[in-house]
Amino acid sequence: MHTARQPAQPPVVPPFSATLRTAITLAELLQRIEASNQSIGAAQYRQLVRHLGEVLDALGPGTPLDTLLGTFPAAAAVYENRHYDVAGLCRSPLEASLNSELKARSVIHKARG
């Protein structure tokens, strides 16, 4: 008796949550704005960044957030700036982080002097 071989089933991928879909949409929009030569109003930009930051925070830590931040550098910068007090420039390459810190120290020193 010859049994038919069942085709391999694709891996089960959980559906994206509404929060993750929103975060991806906002991150992609911000990335496009950052790369564009056209500008948007300051209030619109602040609202986009604020909304994206709130949605990123709602995602919480984990693979979806890490993947999103690795895909969209502008969103990673928003996330890093929102959590600078506890994480510093943890998502930036080390050299860029060091240069940013040195520049910030220089500006602070000049402002005090």
Which alpha helices (DSSP H) does the chain contain, by range? 18-35, 42-59, 63-71, 73-82, 84-87, 94-112
Band of residue 56 on the pLDDT scale cut at 50, 70, 90: very high
Which residue did the predictor score with more confidence, 98 or 9?
9
Which residue did the predictor score with more confidence, 43 or 95?
43
Structural domain boundaries of the chain?
Answer: 18-82, 88-113
Q: What is the mean pLDDT of residues 33-61?
A: 93
Which residue did the predictor score with more confidence, 63 or 3?
63
